[in-house]
Structure 1
Amino acid sequence: MLFRRRRAETGWKRFRIAVWPRRSWSRSTSYFAKRVLRLSGSPHAIAAGVAAGVFASFTPYLGFHIIGAAAVAWLIGGNIIASALGTFAGNPLTFPLIWATTLETGRYLLGYSAAPSDRWIGRRLMHMEFDALWQPLLKPMTVGGLLWGVVAALTTYALLRGSIAAFQQQRRRRLLERAKARARLQGETLSRQKSTAAT
């Protein structure tokens, strides 16, 4: 196969790359930011799409973040591709913090007193008893996730909209200058050809 690796990656190496990218988190974040800025669409649509992805990342339903982000983006007039990129706000580094914060906030808002033990949660997960997990774990995480998700989404939208508008304006200016330079060059070439033909 043309693009196949010479050596197959082990499961451990794939996990390590998911947690810590090959070229560091700063480079991956920079790449992600450039991908968002270069999307086609209005500043509102792109910022709203990313905000929808960030919002979905605060829900405890792993595996449904992209679907949820796309649905929210569609409802608020956001860019669907930007919403998928926005879900990268939830990653192996941020999930522990997100889950702990949403769980504690949800428990506080719902008035829950005692937290379920780690052994109890582990046993329910091993036996796939998700109906038993809803009341003590998923419900408070959903409530807390909705609250913190809205806060994170609004913050993301406010930060991104202005940046995207400025980037797009600068890009349009650069393209216009390039087009003018190209037209000038073509005009000079034409006048040179005319003068050569005249002689």
Structure 2
Amino acid sequence: MQRNFNRWEKLKRLLKLYYLKLMRINASPHNIAMGVACGVFGGCFPVIPGLPLQTVIAVVMAFFTRSSKIAAAIATWISNPFNWLLFYYVQFKIGTFLLPIEVQFDPAKWQVSDFMEIGWQGVTILVFGGFVLGVPLAIIAYFIALYFIRRYRRRKTLRMLARRNKL
């Protein structure tokens, strides 16, 4: 039991570290939130082994939107090894619903080693499904990030003022 507790503590510490890294970026809240939105959008694309597609998409989008590249790279972790299967399942369902492509693939029983066996049609379905999934998630992520960044900075300013008034 103690061993699992340590793993959860490490995960909590890691999440807090990335949260604080985002909050401490020296940029406007809008730029950071746009970077997060770019990262979430990029994170919705499938992970192709050996190709950092998600990070490349996120950083390139952040470059074009003139937003935080660091926030974009960090936010791609919305898609991580713990939830890849869920993302692939949703991407596949969206892609097969919207595209007239037939692929024999069961995302519920899928493993990472099966990725190369689905072919270009399957990859097309996953990429299109990721694009469609990424747009609303990026919009939502922008407003959530903007709220939390402004809240964090407002609290930080109030703490600094309270300390200054005590002196």
Indicate the TM-score class for this superposition, using the shorter chain for normalisation. 0.7 to 0.9
Q: Which residue of structure 2 aligns with residue 160 of structure 1?
A: 145
Superposed displacement of residue 47, structure 1: 1.0
Q: Which residue of structure 2 aligns with residue 13 of structure 1?
A: none
**How far does the alpha carbon of each residue in 1:16-72 deviate from its partner, in whole angstroms, 9 at most, with x for none?**
xxxx95734333323322221222211111111111111111112531222211111
Superposed displacement of residue 173, structure 1: 2.8
Following the alignment from structure 2 to structure 1, what is the Cα–Cα distance between the partners of residues 63 and 123? 25
Tell me: CA distance 1:124–1:28, structure 2 relative to 1, closer, same or farther (3 Å): closer
Following the alignment from structure 2 to structure 1, what is the Cα–Cα distance between the partners of residues 136 and 115? 31
Following the alignment from structure 2 to structure 1, what is the Cα–Cα distance between the partners of residues 135 and 24? 25
Following the alignment from structure 2 to structure 1, what is the Cα–Cα distance between the partners of residues 103 and 139? 32
Bigger Rg, which one: 1
TM-score of the pair, normalised by structure 1: 0.67
2:69 is the counterpart of 1:84? no
Give 2:135's match in structure 1, choosing from 150, 153, 163.
Answer: 150
Following the alignment from structure 2 to structure 1, what is the Cα–Cα distance between the partners of residues 64 and 83? 26
Following the alignment from structure 1 to structure 2, what is the Cα–Cα distance between the partners of residues 159 and 170? 17
1:95-134 alignment runs, 5 A limit = 95-116=84-105, 125=116, 133-134=119-120
Q: Tell which has more relative contact order, 1 or 2 (C-alpha 8 A, sep 6+).
A: 2
2:39 is the counterpart of 1:53? yes
Superposed displacement of residue 178, structure 1: 3.5
Give 2:160's match in structure 1, choosing from 175, 181, 185.
Answer: 175
**Partner letter of residue 119 of structure 2?**
L
1:132-143 alignment runs, 5 A limit = 133-135=119-121, 137-143=122-128
**How far does the alpha carbon of each residue in 1:126-164 deviate from its partner, in whole angstroms, 9 at most, with x for none?**
7xxxxx8112x1111111100111111111111110111
TM-score of the pair, normalised by structure 2: 0.79
> Percent of aligned positions with the same letter in both sequences?
24
Superposed displacement of residue 123, structure 1: 7.5
Unaligned runs of 5+ in 2: 1-5
CA-based RMSD of the aligned residues comes to 2.8
Tell me: CA distance 1:97–1:116, structure 2 relative to 1, closer, same or farther (3 Å): closer
Give 1:39's match in structure 2, choosing from 8, 18, 25.
Answer: 25
CA contact (8 A) 1:56 1:149 kept: yes
Tell me: CA distance 1:177–1:55, structure 2 relative to 1, closer, same or farther (3 Å): same
Unaligned runs of 5+ in 1: 1-19, 127-131, 183-199
